[in-house]
Amino acid sequence: MASIEGLISDLGTESFRAGLYGYLEHLAGADHVSLLRFDADGRARLVCAASRPRWRFPQDAQRAYLEQFHAQDPNRGVFAARPQPGAQVRRLRREQVPGADYRHYCYDAARLVDRLSVLCGDGGGGYALNLYRGRERGAFAEGEAARLHGQASLLAALCVKHDRLCLERGDDAAAQGIDGHAARLAHLQRGLSRRELAVAARVLAGMTSEGIALDLGIGLQSVLTYRKRAYAKLGVSGQRQLFALALRPYRG
């Protein structure tokens, strides 16, 4: 079982995603967990996500939410209202989802029946740590929701810290975000295609393959194909070598 101490040690790393799911599966029996950042400009970004082994959360449902239905999510009203100290926990059962299309694409198509969200505001936007349950296990029990309430503020603080560490990680070029990574890679290898460049830049930004697929609106297999081609053109065999290549002295 993952622990709070383990989550703290994994902050800012890829291991945080699995540790967060393990902790929340034990705490409240989640089938799927996603951490989202809602920017002040209205965009929703997937920070990380993980599912119960052998239970794969449909990417199409996550993509539909990020591209369209996040605007209908009642959680957005929490961020628009006057900020409150600490974290809030909200619940959205399948029958409470506003709008038939939202319900179909983000719940029914994914075979989901319930969601618990830990919410905290952040400068006009905010973060949502979402715990989902599928039809097989049914809705969250009251005791599971109560345990999440008891840990909400601590979990929110850890999730915000993790995202900020991921955004700050790396050298000066990394601080410029994905565009900075793309500029560096294009300088190193002008033969990269647009998609190869986009995928490799997001690898440098610390995004998972699933997160890259959702961000670019392409399939997971396409991400793996573009990544393989980019690595071949850059002369690297994996993520570690890609980071080492990108850290070489560079003047953009």
Query: How many angstroms separate the CA atoms of 13 and 140, rounded?
Result: 29
Q: What are the tens digits of pLDDT across the range 212-235?
A: 887 787 888 999 999 999 999 999
Residues 58 and 129 placed together within one structural domain of the fold = yes
Residues 126 and 188 placed together within one structural domain of the fold = no
Contact by Cβ (8 Å): 117, 75: yes
Residue entry with tokens 């040690």: 9
- Please tell me the predicted confidence (pLDDT) of residue 31: 92
Tell me: pLDDT of 150 over 50. yes
Query: How many angstroms separate the CA atoms of 131 and 162, rounded?
Result: 18
Residues 111 and 188 placed together within one structural domain of the fold = no
Which segment of 21-35, 124-138, 154-168, 201-215 scores lowest on mean pLDDT?
Answer: 201-215
- Please tell me the predicted confidence (pLDDT) of residue 251: 46
> Any idea what the CATH number is for the domain that residue 31 is in?
3.30.450.80
Q: Cα angle vertex 174, ends 173, 180, to 5°? A: 60
Residues 13 and 128 placed together within one structural domain of the fold = yes
Tell me whether residue 27 is in a domain: yes
- Please tell me the predicted confidence (pLDDT) of residue 11: 92
> Any idea what the CATH number is for the domain that residue 181 is in?
1.10.10.10
Query: How many angstroms separate the CA atoms of 88 and 132, rounded?
Result: 16
Residues 15 and 120 placed together within one structural domain of the fold = yes
- Please tell me the predicted confidence (pLDDT) of residue 202: 86
Which of 143, 144, 164, 162 has the alpha carbon at shortest distance from 154?
A: 162
- Among residues 168, 203, 231, which one ends one of the domains? 168
Which of 187, 207, 190, 198 has the alpha carbon at shortest distance from 225?
A: 198
Tell me whether residue 252 is in a domain: no
- Please tell me the predicted confidence (pLDDT) of residue 248: 65
Q: What is the H or E stretch that residue 90 is in?
A: strand 88-91
Query: How many angstroms separate the CA atoms of 37 and 129, rounded?
Result: 9
Which segment of 145-149, 189-193, 207-211 scores lowest on mean pLDDT?
Answer: 207-211
Residues 225 and 110 placed together within one structural domain of the fold = no
> What is the mean pLDDT of the segment spanning 6-17?
88
Which of 38, 28, 23, 160 has the alpha carbon at shortest distance from 87?
A: 160
Question: Would you give the distance in Å from CA 95 to the centre of its chain?
Answer: 25
Q: What are the tens digits of pLDDT across the range 73-121?
A: 999 888 877 666 779 999 999 999 999 999 999 999 889 999 999 999 8
- Please tell me the predicted confidence (pLDDT) of residue 252: 44
- Among residues 119, 138, 168, which one ends one of the domains? 168
Domains held by the chain: number:
2
Tell me: pLDDT of 72 over 90. yes
Tell me whether residue 251 is in a domain: no
Binned at pLDDT 50, 70 and 90, residue 43 comes out as confident
Torsion 214-62-43-175 (CA) sign: negative
In terms of C-beta density within 10 A (0-12 exposed, 13-18 middle, 19 or more buried), how is residue 142 classed? exposed
- Please tell me the predicted confidence (pLDDT) of residue 217: 77
- Among residues 107, 134, 168, which one ends one of the domains? 168
**Domain range enclosing 190:** 174-246
> What is the mean pLDDT of the segment spanning 176-204?
85
Pair of tokens at residue 184? 């560096």
Contact by Cβ (8 Å): 99, 72: yes
Strands (E), the chain: 32-38, 44-51, 88-91, 112-122, 125-134
Residues sharing a CB contact under 8 Å with residue 72, sequence separation 6 or more, in sequence order: 98, 99, 102
Residues 143 and 74 placed together within one structural domain of the fold = yes
